[in-house]
Amino acid sequence: MWRFFERYPDAKSASEADIDDVQRMIQPLGLSERRSRALVRMSKEYTQGQWKSDPKRLYGIGKYASDAYQIFCLGNWRDIQPKDHALNDYRAWLKSQYA
């Protein structure tokens, strides 16, 4: 992960990344060809900015990432009903702190 961020420190540089280079870096995760292409494509869409406030419009972003964005970036934890247990645990903790 740190090697990736050293080489591609922001979305713009990741959007211009060499897919083969990214694939070599993330190969230990498995599905590296698919993931590297998705990462570069999602970075391109991110830099174009047409997704603002709706990350599901970005390629490869599903419910988990969208819920995490709503909770951690926008603070909309009261309005989100995640299916992921870790997000639910965090949401429950927030509720106990701010109820």
Question: Digits of tens for pLDDT over the chain (99 positions)?
Answer: 788 899 999 999 999 999 999 999 988 888 788 889 999 999 999 999 888 878 989 999 999 999 999 999 999 999 999 999 999 999 999 999 987
Q: Cα 63 to chain center, whole Å?
A: 11
If one counts the domains in the chain, the total is 2
Q: Is 57 a member of any domain?
A: no
Q: Indicate if 79 belongs to the active site.
A: no
Supply the pLDDT for residue 6.
94
Q: Do residue 72 and residue 42 come from a single domain?
A: no
Which residue is catalytic, options 10, 18, 84, 89? 84
- Tell me what percent of the chain is helix, strand and coil, each rounded to the nearest 5: 70, 0, 30
pLDDT of residue 31: 78
How high is the pLDDT of residue 2? Answer: 87
Residues 14 and 45 in one domain: yes
Q: Are residues 27 and 73 in the same domain?
A: no
Same domain, 33 and 4: yes
79 is in which domain, residue-wise? 62-99
Global pTM?
Answer: 0.71
